[in-house]
């Protein structure tokens, strides 16, 4: 697999898992959406700041972590909320069929 695919999987897969877990365990809709949004966003921010400030410098150009956070954090948060809403729909359909 190429590094780009692995990077996208590393961004989207944990966000989707957080959204599904929030959808399964959080009953209040507003709280679930907020958690599914903010946990992936802050998770990516934590990773980026760790790589920027705690991992030794490995050369390269200017630091791009703010731009990565703006775009990647938004995508991660959107994925978390999308999977939260999807899991809520599937859980509701499963309860109706039972």
Q: Does residue 83 sit within a domain? A: yes
Q: Does residue 78 sit within a domain? A: yes
Q: Does residue 85 sit within a domain? A: yes
Q: How far apart are CA 53 and CA 48, in angstroms?
A: 9
pLDDT band at 57 (very low <50, low <70, confident <90, very high): confident
Whole-number pLDDT of residue 63: 83
Q: Does residue 2 sit within a domain? A: no
> In which residue are the tokens 């700041």 written?
49
Q: How far apart are CA 11 and CA 96, in angstroms?
A: 33
Q: Does residue 9 sit within a domain? A: no
| pLDDT 10s digits, 83-94 | 999 999 999 999
Q: Does residue 6 sit within a domain? A: no
- Of 94, 48, 96, the closest CA to residue 71 belongs to 48
Q: What is the pTM of this model?
A: 0.89
Q: Does residue 80 sit within a domain? A: yes
Print the domain residue range for 72: 16-97
């Amino acid at each position: 697999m190429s590094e780009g695919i692995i990077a996208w999987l590393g961004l989207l897969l944990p966000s989707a898992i957080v959204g599904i877990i929030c959808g399964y365990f959080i009953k209040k809709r507003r709280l679930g959406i907020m958690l599914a949004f903010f946990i992936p966003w802050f998770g990516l921010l934590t990773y980026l700041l760790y790589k920027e400030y705690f991992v030794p410098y490995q050369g390269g150009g200017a630091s791009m972590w703010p731009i990565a956070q703006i775009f990647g954090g938004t995508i991660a948060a959107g994925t978390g909320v999308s999977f939260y809403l999807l899991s809520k729909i599937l859980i509701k359909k499963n309860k109706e069929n039972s």
